[in-house]
């Protein structure tokens, strides 16, 4: 059965290639200055918009890999690639890319990170969906879980990418197990045809690489927020027009804290159209936590999440698309700290790009 109209990331069939897990940093149980605390970055948003026209998705990836003590050190990176009308084979185009991140310095005994790789297979009847289970050694049976990054690449049988019906990455809730916790990494890629192109989608595949971070914490200090846009937020605009609407979602959390750190735990995009040609070229996608602020006088954290999709080109009618995200917040104690940042590559181009942090 094809999963038309069903919530994304619900059924999973995949081959798990590898699971990675490593310790970022550690400290003893002691009062510490912020400069001495284990620190890391998490993903709080991403955005891409092709300058000239919509394209197939060949590679889509964003991430913030940085850790250390006090100020983390590492890399901010993006990787966006389209089909032959983007890579120069037929024409060239440039993707404008933005990466949002949040940093935290925590007195937790250790911050644990890893990368999980999942390969998925799909066909005309079944979306490519997969799940991998990750076990992490922790001193406490609970904590906060975030994405540090993700990258999805089309399979070798389709080296120029896919027109997509749905795409998603989701980290499941932490579950206590002996010696630590475990969680699921769920991914989905649903390739589908479009009215103006013949594609061989009898069998297709994709490879996901998902970077994650676990921070031990009492369950009462963690809150998970799930938000989705309305069904009619994606719009096809004539080439060169602006004004694709943004679905802005406001949410808050009443909690006593020194500060609150917020980042993405998952996202999904789902085209509402149904039928044998329910795929679409993608022009732009935004999943961005644009504000995150804690008010100590009101003991309340508030955030704003921007969700946007467009396949702007010759199609001018409204397109039913749902864009959603899961945001996890962690209440920090006095002496711990968080900060946010945004990176836009100075030179925009298709393919992998990176910059050192800080």
* Tokens matching residue 152: 């999805």
List all residues 6 or more positions away from 46 whose beta carbon is below 8 Å from its beta carbon. Answer: 62, 78, 97, 98, 99, 100, 286, 287, 288
* Tokens matching residue 184: 């699921």
- Can you give the pLDDT at residue 223? 97
Look at residue 9 and tell me whether its pLDDT is greater than 50.
no
Which comes out higher in pLDDT, residue 19 or 248?
Answer: 248
Distance, CA of 286 to CA of 323 (rounded, Å): 9
C-alpha distances (whole Å) from 138 to each of 108, 113, 201, 351 are: 10, 12, 43, 36
Q: Rounded mean pLDDT of the chain? A: 82
DSSP lists the bridge partners of residue 235 as 310, 318
pLDDT digits (tens, 9 = 90+) for 216-251: 999 999 999 998 875 544 444 333 344 556 788 898
- Can you give the pLDDT at residue 357? 97
CB 155 within 8 A of CB 130: no
Look at residue 25 and tell me whether its pLDDT is greater than 90.
no
Look at residue 89 and tell me whether its pLDDT is greater than 50.
yes
Q: Report which listed range, 11-15, 103-107, 183-187, 308-312, is most confident.
A: 183-187
Mean pLDDT of 124-147: 91
CB 286 within 8 A of CB 324: no
Give the SS3 label for residue 38: strand
Phi then psi dihedrals of residue 36, to 5 deg: -100, -5
CB 181 within 8 A of CB 136: yes
- Can you give the pLDDT at residue 327? 97
Whether the bond between 299 and the residue before it is cis, its omega within 30 degrees of 0, is no
Look at residue 22 and tell me whether its pLDDT is greater than 70.
no
Stated pTM of the model = 0.87
Residues of the chain with pLDDT > 70, as a percent, come to 80
Which comes out higher in pLDDT, residue 278 or 301?
Answer: 301
- Structure confidence at residue 275 as a pLDDT band (50, 70, 90): low
CB 265 within 8 A of CB 145: yes
């Amino acid at each position: 059965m094809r999963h038309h109209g069903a919530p994304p990331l619900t059924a999973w069939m995949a081959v798990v290639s590898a699971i990675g897990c490593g310790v970022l940093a550690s400290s003893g149980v002691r009062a510490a200055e912020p400069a001495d605390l284990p620190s890391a970055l998490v993903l709080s948003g991403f955005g891409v918009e092709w300058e000239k026209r919509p394209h197939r998705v060949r590679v889509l990836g964003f991430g913030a890999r940085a850790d250390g003590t006090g100020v983390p050190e590492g890399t901010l990176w993006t990787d966006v690639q389209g089909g032959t009308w983007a890579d120069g084979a037929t024409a060239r185009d440039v993707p404008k890319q933005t990466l949002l991140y949040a940093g935290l310095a925590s007195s937790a005994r250790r911050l644990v990170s890893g990368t999980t790789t999942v390969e998925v297979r799909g066909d005309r009847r079944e979306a490519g969906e997969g799940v991998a289970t990750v076990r992490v050694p922790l001193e406490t049976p609970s904590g906060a879980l975030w994405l540090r990054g993700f990258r999805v690449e089309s399979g070798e049988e389709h080296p120029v990418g896919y027109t997509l019906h749905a795409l998603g990455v989701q980290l499941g809730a932490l579950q206590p197990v002996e010696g630590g916790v475990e969680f699921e990494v769920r991914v989905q890629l649903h390739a589908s045809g479009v009215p103006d192109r013949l594609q061989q989608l009898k069998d297709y595949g994709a490879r996901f690489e998902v970077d994650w971070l676990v921070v031990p914490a009492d369950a009462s200090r963690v809150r998970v927020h799930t938000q989705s846009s309305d069904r009619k937020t994606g719009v096809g605009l004539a080439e060169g027009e602006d004004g694709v609407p943004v679905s802005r979602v406001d949410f808050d959390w009443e909690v006593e804290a020194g500060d609150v750190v917020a980042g993405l735990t998952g996202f999904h995009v789902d085209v509402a159209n149904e039928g044998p040609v329910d795929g679409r070229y993608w022009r732009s996608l935004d999943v961005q936590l644009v504000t995150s602020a804690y008010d100590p006088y009101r003991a309340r954290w508030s955030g704003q999440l921007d969700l946007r999709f467009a396949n702007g080109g010759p199609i001018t009618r409204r397109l039913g698309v749902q864009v959603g995200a899961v945001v996890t917040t962690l209440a920090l104690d006095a002496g711990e700290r968080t900060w946010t940042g945004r990176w836009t590559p100075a030179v925009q181009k298709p393919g992998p790009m990176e910059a050192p942090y800080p």
